[in-house]
Amino acid sequence: MLKCSELLEAKLGFFISVASEVQGFLMKFQAGKPMAPFLYEETYLMLHSLMKRFIKRVLETNSSANKLLKVDVNQKCNLLPITDVNIGFEARHSPNESKASDTVKSNFKFLCLSFLQKMTVKLIERNPLCFKLVRGISCLSPNIISASSSSCVQKIEIALDTFVDCHQMTEL
């Protein structure tokens, strides 16, 4: 007979909390609408919110996407203490999690941290933030236009240069 994990509710709560952070991004970009201008900002926000769960000082030191992508999520000095890792409300307050021993809780948080690290590494490896075109076409986002028109000019130049380099358009 299979034995159910004593922390099954906590594990499900953790995965639900992580899935809810990623779900909005996935729903938005699986639309039939032209969403590419929003890809840069939304990817940055999703990656930032995931990293905020287990990385020290993500908010203060990593204001740009390039800096965020350079954070080594496997380096111990960048990680929060295991007790401070954000596993989500449901996981923290599940009935079985509160009854579990400190060792079991610590192992559970370590598994959650390991999952967050691996997921973040995969997202960074396959991240569109490193592409010039994604950065360039973000100038078409109304949020970016209203925030800084001067950065929009730079970003449109990046996009146009990328199109010229890929022979998708000719120089004028």
> What is the share, in percent, of the chain residues with pLDDT greater than 70?
91
pLDDT score for 3: 47
Across residues 42-55, what is the average pLDDT? 91
Band of residue 2 on the pLDDT scale cut at 50, 70, 90: very low
Q: Which of 59, 119, 110, 64 is nearest to 87 (CA)?
A: 110
DSSP 152-164: HHHHHHHHHHHHH
How far apart, in whole angstroms, are the C-alpha atoms of residue 7 and residue 9?
A: 6
Across residues 2-9, what is the average pLDDT? 68
Task: Name the pTM for this structure.
Answer: 0.81
Could you report the per-residue pLDDT of 97-144, keeping only the tens digit for each? 667 788 888 889 999 999 999 999 999 998 888 888 888 888 888 877
3 state SS of 79:
strand
Across residues 142-160, what is the average pLDDT? 79
pLDDT score for 62: 53
Query: 3-state secondary structure string, 9-25?
Result: HHHHHHHHHHHHHHHHH
Q: Which of 118, 60, 62, 111 is nearest to 85 (CA)?
A: 111
Could you report the per-residue pLDDT of 15-37, keeping only the tens digit for each? 999 999 999 888 888 888 888 88
3 state SS of 52:
helix
How far apart, in whole angstroms, are the C-alpha atoms of residue 144 and residue 45?
A: 14
**Does residue 63 carry a pLDDT above 80?**
no
| First-residue to last-residue Cα distance in the chain | 72
pLDDT score for 53: 93
pLDDT score for 1: 35
What one-character DSSP code corresponds to residue 7?
T
pLDDT score for 66: 79
Alpha helices per DSSP H over the chain = 8-29, 36-52, 58-61, 65-69, 89-92, 95-99, 102-125, 132-137, 142-147, 149-165
pLDDT score for 111: 94
User: Quick check: 88 and 13 in contact, CB under 8 A?
Assistant: yes
User: Quick check: 88 and 16 in contact, CB under 8 A?
Assistant: yes
How far apart, in whole angstroms, are the C-alpha atoms of residue 112 and residue 119?
A: 10
